[in-house]
Amino acid sequence: MTSHTLRNVVIVGGGTAGWMTAAALAKFLPPQQYHIQLVESDAIGTVGVGEATVPHIRFFNQVLGIDENDFMQKTNATYKLGIEFSHWGKRGDRYIHPFGIYGQARNDISFHHYWLKLQQSGDPHPIGDYSVGVVAAYAEKFAYPHRDAHSLFSKYSYAFHLDASLYASFLRDYSTTRGVTRVEGKIIRVEQHPDSGFIRAVELDSGAQLAGDLFIDCSGFRGLLISDTLKTDFEEWSHWLPCDRAIAVPSSKTSEPLPYTKAIACTAGWQWRIPLQNRTGNGQVYSSHHISDDEVAHNLLHNLDGEPLANLHYLRFKAGRRVQSWNKNCVAIGLSSGFLEPLESTSIYLIQIAIMTLVECFPDAAMEETNRHEFNRTMANEYERIRDFLILHYHATQRDDSAFWNDCRTMNIPESLHYKIQLFREQGHVERYKQGMFLEPSWVAVYMGQGIIPTTYHPAVNALDIQHLRDYFHSLRNTIATGVNAMPSHTNSIQRYCNNP
């Protein structure tokens, strides 16, 4: 340890964000060098929602050395091949946004360009017919993707539906057995250095003080350190993402769990249905300017599959992010750093990215500006890209059956999204980036699923004879149908891999 090494790390909050952070720091930081403490308050509890994930969580678990089957068993998890969006583009529509690509790219040209050419020649098959993930999801099948990168069956991916509070407990055991100290208590005061404003210590209701060099604010919507103490600005996006409330309720299981999440558009928001092994997670996300809490509560209970297993849980939020997630010696991770509604299950992903970026930019005692700058730049990019993707779901609608949908359809959108939509509409191209959330196939899924169909396609596609293309697409559909048919059912896969009765 050098004199420049920072030693005491204090994590404030023991929800999903707090325990994911603790687990990763316990794994990646040398234990003889760092002392990691996590404070959580049983009296305050956690936000208690957050059940759908994206495939990146698998890589997080893998780097921690967590056995996937053990994790699934302990969190009541099911497999997730994508999200089905119903009634978004128009009432009666539905499409799945799968994890993975459509078909197979040929000559470095994305598959959807070939599909567009066929469509223009009258072929009726939706693009989802060329996604193993979509076909398997609707057949309620699940098998692990093939390892052979040339196989069509290696081109899809999967995530999980899980009980996030069980995941936090699972990671709590993981962290505490690897040297993280858990402290129970409510923080009632935060002490700052008088000159720099850096945080020096937090004081608990027991009178105990926890001093630290680096504080990680995982205190949820409250933002105890990043907001209450450091007064970090919040950039609000509710003019683009107007939903500001949710009501959640778990219900009893009535059928075998589906391998996909349902996101059903409603009059002034949308309803989720998330199948776990033992129950279903349900909730509605809505705009309080367009519908009352009572009406949403009534609709939610009316549309519930199964019996409610708890009282309705009312939540309030606003879309946006902290302008600096890392401010002075405090890094906000999780809901304290910002909120984007759960339409594409991105919150746990954002936690993971923040953790991995923090590990990469981990500071020493000097708290160099470069680390902070890089962390904030990365998080700003991630938030803004996801923000645009979520706005697309609301804006790309033809619905005119309520004030909410009229407002979404006609609202001004960010310039960055406007450009993306124009590029796709006019040329069929998706803005290219190779890392981060929502690569080309995701944008294609939502554009096409909600009726934004390009007027043209990549000109190089014309080099292929139309009959050749038809034959090729026909054989792709057959290969997918035969392969999916041979997959075990989703339920059998859960039983087989998780050893659950």
Q: How far is CA 12 from CA 142, 334, 376, in A?
A: 38, 11, 19
Name the minimum Å distance from CB 17 to ligand FAD. 3
Specify the residue, 127 or 350, whose C-beta has the smaller distance to ligand FAD.
350
Query: 423: burial class by Cβ within 10 Å (0-12, 13-18, 19+)?
Result: middle
Q: Which one, 10 or 461, has the nearer CB to ligand FAD?
A: 10
What is the amino acid identity at position 17?
A: A
Q: 231 or 418, CB closer to ligand FAD?
A: 231
Burial class of 108 by CB neighbour count within 10 A (0 to 12, 13 to 18, 19+): exposed
Cα→Cα distances 494→38, 130, 205, 490, 497, Å: 33, 25, 44, 6, 5
Query: Least Å distance between CB 35 and ligand FAD?
Result: 19
For ligand FAD, give the closer residue by CB, 16 or 119. Answer: 16
Contacts of 44 (CB under 8 A, 6+ apart): 186
Q: What does the binding site for ligand FAD look like in residue numbers (CB under 6 A)?
A: 13-18, 39-41, 44-47, 49-53, 164, 186-187, 218-220, 222, 224, 246, 248, 283, 315, 317, 334-336, 342, 345, 347-348
DSSP string, 345-367: --HHHHHHHHHHHHHHT---TT-
CB atoms within 10 A of CB 78: 27
Is 80 tagged catalytic?
yes
* Cβ distance to ligand FAD smaller for residue 14 or 100: 14
| Active-site choice (27, 74, 80, 262) | 80
- Report the nearest approach of ligand FAD to the CB of residue 40 (Å): 4
Between 386 and 476, name the residue whose CB sits nearer to ligand FAD: 386
Q: For residue 242, report the phi and psi dihedrals to the nearest 5 degrees.
A: -75, -10
What's the token pair of residue 328?
Answer: 């002075």
Radius of gyration of the chain (CA): 23
Query: What is the SS3 assignment for 382?
Result: helix
Smallest distance from ligand FAD to CB 244, Å: 10
Burial of residue 405, with CB atoms counted within 10 A of its CB: 0-12 exposed, 13-18 middle, 19 or more buried: buried
Minimum distance, C-beta of residue 187 to ligand FAD, in the bound complex (Å): 4
Shortest Cβ 193–ligand FAD spacing (Å): 21
Rounded CA-CA distance 344/83 in Å is 8
Active-site positions read: 80
